[in-house]
């Protein structure tokens, strides 16, 4: 799954979690400040990504930096896929 | 000289329920249930078996902590509210009689949710330090609730599921003659009444509570360490409130306290049991020899509402 596809899936999952239509995402958008996620909805977002794209979340890898921006979250998802593929 | 604590007596009910089953009964969907198991690390919840009563577990734990000794006062820390007649009448009298303490004072400590048990320890210490207290006076602290009485009283949405385990510990004053297992070093308390709506909080309030709780917990533990005359980095172990692993990941991140020095072993098999968690973790760490004489342990509890309580104890040399 390339970066563009991850961003597109993120948009779908965010719309579902926030229960509103989320416009096209930019990688510099901040999850909490710009997109109004909170600590609960961030977790729901991860669960949604597990369900839709087969992301496997390892809770011990989840540093707060992951949730800074759309771009950092995409980095995390891409790295998780790479880790799974290498295993 | 400071107050001393006996070994902690823990009593578990006769069966466990799967956290997933409890949440499913409450109507939680698969995704929400997965948050509890995958991220929070919660699998099982101790649950009373048919015919078992919390009162019986409290008596067993209390007798074990007493070890044949007496106590001038019994403090029962509980999260769930009991009907007044229970605290003032039959329940109190039955418990005192069965503990062999018919003439002792008996008080419930409540309305501070899951900090009630550690608060009871603090109250016991203060009681025993009062002017005129006898050297052989002791206070028996009991803790635990019957969460399984109703699923709505044991599930905190998004955060945890609570079980029915109970604990007891015997506290003696500075001049006490028993050999304690733990020595009291200091403590701290905090309150943030913005979250007083508790289980009736909105989703936004719950999220704000989750974010506030991490920082407030760190701040309370730091103050308790200072009250004990040390810094946080001189604390050897955190014996945590076992609500979930996520809370403690945040604590470790915010405070810099080593993740592997937070004793979370019991999260999967026992999880959260109201105000008993920190004492239960201490008992586990001691029994499995994870703590050594001289180790300083921060016992930490967090209550909805919100309340924060930390007690610092030091493990005393083995005989």
Tell me the nearest-neighbour CA distance from B39 into chain A, angstroms: 6
Tell me the nearest-neighbour CA distance from A51 into chain B, angstroms: 8
CA–CA distances in Å: residue B23 to residues B42, B201, B203, B210: 11, 19, 18, 20
Question: What's the pLDDT at B84?
Answer: 63
Q: Which residue of B has its CA nearest to A50?
A: B31
Cβ distance of A64 and B39 shorter than 8 Å:
no
Cis ω before B306 (30° cut-off from 0): yes
Name the nearest CA neighbour of B279 among B119, B136, B138.
Answer: B119
Q: What is the distance, to the nearest Å, from the Cα of residue B23 to the centroid of all Cα atoms in its chain?
A: 23
Q: Which residue of A has its CA nearest to B245?
A: A59
What are the sequence ranges of the domains in chain B?
Answer: 4-172, 182-315
| B157 CB-contact burial (10 Å; exposed 0-12 / middle 13-18 / buried 19+) | middle
Cβ distance of B211 and A47 shorter than 8 Å:
no
CATH of the domain at A47: 1.10.1200.10
CA–CA distances in Å: residue A45 to residues A3, A17, B37, B40, B43: 17, 6, 16, 15, 22
Q: Which DSSP helix (H) or strand (E) runs through B144?
A: strand B138-144
DSSP B202-262: -HHHHHHHHHHHHHHHHHHHHHHHHHTTS-GGG--EEE---S-HHHHHHHHHHH---GGGB
Helix axes B116-128, B277-287, angle to 10 degrees: 80
Chain B residues touching A48 at Cβ < 8 A: 31
Residue A27: CB partners within 8 Å, gap ≥ 6?
Answer: A7, A69, A70, A71, A74
φ/ψ of residue B287, rounded to 5? -65, -35
Domain B4-172: give its CATH superfamily: Thiolase/Chalcone synthase (3.40.47.10)
Tell me the nearest-neighbour CA distance from B114 into chain A, angstroms: 22
Tell me the nearest-neighbour CA distance from B215 into chain A, angstroms: 14
Tell me the nearest-neighbour CA distance from B234 into chain A, angstroms: 25
The model's pLDDT over B16-70, given as tens digits with 9 standing for 90+, comes to 999 999 999 999 988 889 989 988 999 999 999 999 999 999 999 999 999 999 9
Tell me the nearest-neighbour CA distance from A23 into chain B, angstroms: 23
Question: What's the pLDDT at B22?
Answer: 97
- Pick from B32, B38, B203: CB nearest A57: B38
Which tokens sit at B44? 């099982």
**Domain boundaries, position A30:** 3-86
Contact with chain A for residue B253, Cβ under 8 A:
yes
Give the architecture-level CATH label for domain B182-315: 3-Layer(aba) Sandwich (3.40)
Question: What's the pLDDT at B198?
Answer: 82
The answer to whether B191 and B306 are in contact (CB under 8 A) is: yes
pLDDT above 90 for A81:
no
- Pick from B38, B41, B203: CB nearest A40: B203
Question: What's the pLDDT at A62?
Answer: 80
Chain A residues touching B203 at Cβ < 8 A: 40
pLDDT above 70 for B86:
no
Average pLDDT value for residue range B81-95: 78
- Pick from A40, A47, A57: CB nearest B207: A40
- Pick from B39, B203, B253: CB nearest A43: B39
d(CA B240, CA B65): 21
B172 or B157: which carries more pLDDT confidence?
Answer: B172
* 3-class DSSP assignment, residue A54: coil
Q: By a Cβ cutoff of 8 Å, what residues of chain A touch chain B?
A: 38-41, 43-44, 46-48, 50-51, 57, 59-60, 62-64
Question: What's the pLDDT at A41?
Answer: 83
Average pLDDT value for residue range B5-9: 98
The model's pLDDT over B166-201, given as tens digits with 9 standing for 90+, comes to 999 999 998 888 999 999 999 999 999 999 888 888
Cβ distance of B246 and A44 shorter than 8 Å:
no
Question: How much is the pTM?
Answer: 0.91
- Size of the A and B interface in Cβ pairs below 8 Å: 39
Q: Are strands B296-303 and B307-315 parallel, antiparallel or unpaired?
A: antiparallel
d(CA B239, CA B223): 16
**Count of domains for chain A:** 1
d(CA B264, CA A70): 32
Helix runs in chain B, H state only: 19-25, 30-34, 54-66, 84-88, 90-99, 116-128, 151-154, 203-227, 245-255, 277-287
Domains B4-172 and B182-315 belong to one CATH topology: yes
Place of tokens 């403690």: B248
Question: What's the pLDDT at B83?
Answer: 67
Residue B171: CB partners within 8 Å, gap ≥ 6?
Answer: B3, B4, B5, B6, B121, B124, B125, B128, B138, B139, B140, B141
Chain A residues touching B245 at Cβ < 8 A: 59
Q: Which residue of A has its CA nearest to B206?
A: A40
The answer to whether B165 and B12 are in contact (CB under 8 A) is: yes
Q: Which residue of A has its CA nearest to B33?
A: A47
Cβ distance of A62 and B245 shorter than 8 Å:
no
């Amino acid at each position: 799954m390339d970066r563009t596809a991850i961003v597109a899936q993120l948009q779908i999952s965010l719309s579902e979690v926030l229960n509103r239509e989320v416009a096209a995402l930019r990688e510099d958008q901040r999850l909490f400040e710009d997109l109004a996620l909170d600590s609960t909805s961030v977790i729901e977002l991860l669960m949604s990504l597990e369900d839709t794209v087969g992301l496997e979340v390892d809770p011990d890898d989840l540093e707060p930096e992951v949730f800074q921006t759309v771009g950092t979250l995409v980095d995390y998802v891409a790295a998780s896929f790479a880790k799974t593929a290498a295993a | 000289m400071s107050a001393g604590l006996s070994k902690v007596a823990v009593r578990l009910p006769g069966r466990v329920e799967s956290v997933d089953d409890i949440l499913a009964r409450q109507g939680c969907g698969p995704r929400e249930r997965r948050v509890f198991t995958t991220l929070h690390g919660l699998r099982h919840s101790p649950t009373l078996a048919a015919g078992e009563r919390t009162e019986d577990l409290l008596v067993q734990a209390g007798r074990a902590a007493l070890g044949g000794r007496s106590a001038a006062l019994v403090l029962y820390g509980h999260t769930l509210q009991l009907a007044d007649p229970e605290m003032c009448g039959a329940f109190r009298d039955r418990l005192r009689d069965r503990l062999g303490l018919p003439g002792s004072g008996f008080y419930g400590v409540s309305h501070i949710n899951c900090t009630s048990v550690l608060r009871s320890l603090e109250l016991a210490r203060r009681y025993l330090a009062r002017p005129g207290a006898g050297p052989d006076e002791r206070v028996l602290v009991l803790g635990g609730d019957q969460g399984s009485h109703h699923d709505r009283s044991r599930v905190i949405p998004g955060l945890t599921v609570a079980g029915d385990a109970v604990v007891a510990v015997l506290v003696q004053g500075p001049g006490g003659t028993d050999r304690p297992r733990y020595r009291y070093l200091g403590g701290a308390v905090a309150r943030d009444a913005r979250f007083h709506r508790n289980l009736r909080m909105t989703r936004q309030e719950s999220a704000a509570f989750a974010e506030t709780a991490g920082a407030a917990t760190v701040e309370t533990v730091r103050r308790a360490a200072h009250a004990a005359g040390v810094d946080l980095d001189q604390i050897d172990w955190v014996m945590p409130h076992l609500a979930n692993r996520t809370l403690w990941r945040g604590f470790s991140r915010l405070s810099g306290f080593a993740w592997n020095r937070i004793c979370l072993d019991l999260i999967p098999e026992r999880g959260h049991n109201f105000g008993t968690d920190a004492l239960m973790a201490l008992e586990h760490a001691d029994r499995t020899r994870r703590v050594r004489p001289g180790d300083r342990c921060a016992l930490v509890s967090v209550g909805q509402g919100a309340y924060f309580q930390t007690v610092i104890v030091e493990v005393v040399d083995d005989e």
